[in-house]
Structures are given as C-alpha cells and as structure tokens.
Chains A and B, each alone.
Chain A
Amino acid sequence: DAMVIQNPRYQVTQFGKPVTLSCSQTLNHNVMYWYQQKSSQAPKLLFHYYDKDFNNEADTPDNFQSRRPNTSFCFLDIRSPGLGDAAMYLCATSRDRGRWNTEAFFGQGTRLTVV
C-alpha cells in the first residue's frame, strides 16, 4: 500500500501560470519534505515541515511556497513557473526529529513540465 502519495504523477503547466503539487501520507509522520530533482542531479531539498513549523532552505527561490494544512497533507506551490523549474518534485516524510527518526520515506514524485 502506498504510504506517501503524490498527485498528479505528471503535470504540465504554462510558463508563469501558478501550479500546485500535492502530497499525502498515511504514516502519521511529523516531518514532511519537498525535494526538487533535475535530470542527472541530486535531489535538492527545498523545505521541510516539522509538524506546522516551516523550515525553508536558504537557497530556495521565493517562487516556491508550501502549505501543510494538517498532518497528512502538504502542498508545493510554484507561483510563476519558469522553464528552469521543470523537474521531478519529490515528497518525503520522516517520523520525527532526533537522530533515530530521520529515515525518509518517498513518494513516486511529480514530473513537472513547463511549456
């Protein structure tokens, strides 16, 4: 059974048109992450939530925002997608903070195309 679910699997959006990617989890984990992965590159951490506490990476562009309305759901909003934002977006969860709880569980990703 899928535990971290991302919708949609494939998303096509127009240049400059806001787009939202969604992630849900059935694990009841406290931490949720968003990563951006471009072809042949490492997944890059954009931000993560610990419960409702939002943690942005210093180099994440302002164009990327996130919402976590409850434990189960987390959204990635791209306010004005550019061609350079085309990538695979990965959602992940981990149980909690603390050394022993940081194993991440990944969804299948959403591949975003910007036209």
Chain B
Amino acid sequence: AQSVSQHNHHVILSEAASLELGCNYSYGGTVNLFWYVQYPGQHLQLLLKYFSGDPLVKGIKGFEAEFIKSKFSFNLRKPSVQWSDTAEYFCAVNEGNNNDMRFGAGTRLTVKP
C-alpha cells in the first residue's frame, strides 16, 4: 500500500536558520505531491504542489520543495525561517488521477525568536 513518511517528528530552530523537512513516499507510478501547513488553531492550508515539469517548486511564504524521483522524495526547504513559521507541516501524495490523497504523520516546527 502507498505510504508517506516524514522523518522528523519535531524540529526546533532559531529564527534565520535554514529548514529542510524530509518526505518520502512509496508509490512507484505517477504521483502528485503536496505540502500543507497547519498553524495553531487553523485549518490545513496548501504551501505548494507538484504535478509535473520543473522538479523545484516554489510555494508561498518563501517555501520551496524539490521532487527527486529516483529517491521518491519531496523535501520542503526554506532558507531562513521566521517565528511565524511555527506550525505543523504535512506532506501528502496522491497517485495519478486518483482522489485518494495520503498524508504523512506531520512535522511540528518550533521557531524560537
């Protein structure tokens, strides 16, 4: 069965530090890839998505992610985090034309001011 793995459960950084959150998936076919963010008390919001084309995807708030097909990975990056980036980050994958989006367990990011 398809699965999505996020390796870091909780990441603590100081402001201005660089961020990379790992995401790996197990499905070998065509995939659509997403990163969602959930700020405290708010709903899940889309940060960025990849369907095809340039494997380096830029999203909102300075986030980007790189799709590496050979590694089945879609890691999220930000060069300099801010206190306001404190949130939970979820990687999600769905297969081809299917609507069954699967989520990773999430990574909680805490940014210290």
Contacts and interface: CB of A to CB of B under 8 A. Distances in A.
A22 B69 CA distance: 39
Interface in B29-43: 30, 32, 34, 36, 42-43
Given A100-B51, A102-B94, A42 B100 contact: no
Given A42-B90, A42-B106, A104 B43 contact: no
Contacts of B42: 108
Contacts, number: 65
Chain A interface size range: 20 to 34
Interface string A62-101: 0000000000000000000000000000101010011110
Nearest to A96: B99
Contacts of A98: 97
Contact of A48 (B32, B34, B43, B100): B100
A99 B100 CA distance: 11
B101 interface: yes
A106 B103 contact: no
A102 B103 contact: no
Contacts of B55: none
Contacts of A55: 99-100
A42 B46 CA distance: 16
B106 A99 contact: no
B44 A50 contact: no
Interface string A1-37: 0001000000000000000000000000001010100
10 contacts: A31-B99, A42-B90, A42-B104, A43-B90, A48-B100, A57-B100, A97-B99, A99-B30, A108-B43, A109-B43
Q: Closest 8 interchain pairs by CB? A: A106-B44, A42-B103, A108-B43, A42-B105, A43-B103, A106-B43, A31-B99, A102-B94
